[in-house]
Amino acid sequence: MKVIVSGSSGLIGRFLVERLEADGLEVVRLVRRPPADPGEIAWDPVAGTIDAAGLEGADAVFHLAGAGIGDRRWTQSYKQEILDSRVLGTSLLASTLAGLERKPAVLVSASAIGWYGDRGDEMLDETEPRGDGFLADVTAAWEAAADPAAAAGIRVVHPRTGIVLSKDGGALQRLLLPFKLGAGGRTGPGSQWWSWITRSDEVRALFFLAFSSEMDGPVNLTAPNPVTNREFVAALGNVLHRPAKLPTPSFALKALLGSELAEALLFQSQRVIPARLTEDGFTFTSPSLAGALETLVG
């Protein structure tokens, strides 16, 4: 079975490729440089170029590429890069797949819970309408960009991913040092909901969506037990045997990251549940935060 992966060097993509190859699948990576071996295909989303012939014969496509949301302060130019890296890449890939002689059965095209915006204590499943804000706008355009593939008869799934927990990248890695130094605590009010998933369950869910499910459209990829920020930091402090009593004031985080980025990443409240995923029979290996953190960093 031949599988195409974009974003293969990212936090999720690296682990996904390892899993695919361990299962004996032929993995072909989309890369934005000259290919170094037969397992790579060149593409340039900004220029609108892709080696379409290299995509022929693929059975499934995982599209995970996109500029990091929290990698830099949100200048206008970087916000445009965040949008373009998702919309241009998805549009190019979807339209190219739609024109293939032998189309893949499924396109798993990444999305995010940013779709829901800041929603307080609301319980959010996939039926909820789009929220407000930059990330909600980006996510809506990102998902819509895959429409040409769906129109061509390819099953398109949009995994709306929450905070991915891994000890070697992402939000958890950034929190570990201050907590280990005894300087951990809530960020902002602490009442905002954080919807999370371990990287292992994320990759298992992506596998499930591609090979064990017939679902299409949006599917929330978050653990079934979201927690408040206050609960998150308390659980992390407990696992690390460190205090979690030194809150980081909102104004300090806004000064460090920029007001808009800090609001979007740290202070927005999204209480998301994986309704469709669990209804379709997927089971989480880490459904509770305490158990997940113990496995990852305990």
pLDDT at 13: 97
pLDDT at position 253 over 80: no
- For residues 117-137, give the mean pLDDT: 97
The alpha carbon of residue 188 and the mean position of all alpha carbons in its chain are separated, in whole angstroms, by 23
H or E element at residue 221: strand 217-221
CA distance linking residue 52 with residue 271, whole number of Å: 40
CA distance linking residue 169 with residue 246, whole number of Å: 23
CB atoms within 10 A of CB 285: 12
**pLDDT tens readout for residues 184-198:** 888 888 999 999 999
Task: Check which CATH number belongs to the domain holding 130 and give it.
Answer: 3.40.50.720
CA distance linking residue 147 with residue 91, whole number of Å: 8
pLDDT at position 199 over 90: yes
Of these ranges, 33-37, 206-210, 251-255, the one predicted with the greatest mean pLDDT is 206-210
Distances (CA, A) of 190 to 114, 116, 147, 225, 249: 19, 19, 38, 17, 10
CA distance linking residue 50 with residue 243, whole number of Å: 51
pLDDT at 298: 84
Average pLDDT, the chain: 94
pLDDT band at residue 72 using 50, 70 and 90 as cut-offs: confident
pLDDT at 87: 98
CB atoms within 10 A of CB 191: 14
Unique residue bearing structure tokens 């591609």: 210
Domains in the chain, number: 1
pLDDT band at residue 256 using 50, 70 and 90 as cut-offs: low
Task: Characterize the bridge pairing of strands 111-112 and 155-161.
Answer: parallel
**pLDDT tens readout for residues 130-183:** 999 999 999 999 999 999 999 999 999 999 999 999 988 888 988 888 888 887
pLDDT at 183: 78
pLDDT at 187: 87
DSSP 50-96: E-HHHHTT-SEEEE-----TTSS---HHHHHHHHHHHHHHHHHHHHH
- For residues 273-290, give the mean pLDDT: 98
Return the higher-pLDDT residue of 284 and 175.
284
Q: Domain containing 138: what range?
A: 2-297
Quote the Cα angle for 64-70-73, to 5°.
Answer: 135
pLDDT at position 3 over 70: yes
pLDDT at 156: 98
Query: Residue 48 corresponds to which tokens in the numbers above?
Result: 């609108």
Return the higher-pLDDT residue of 14 and 254.
14
pLDDT at 5: 98
Question: Rg (Cα) of the chain, in Å, rounded?
Answer: 19
Q: What amino acid occupies position 245? A: K
pLDDT at 170: 86
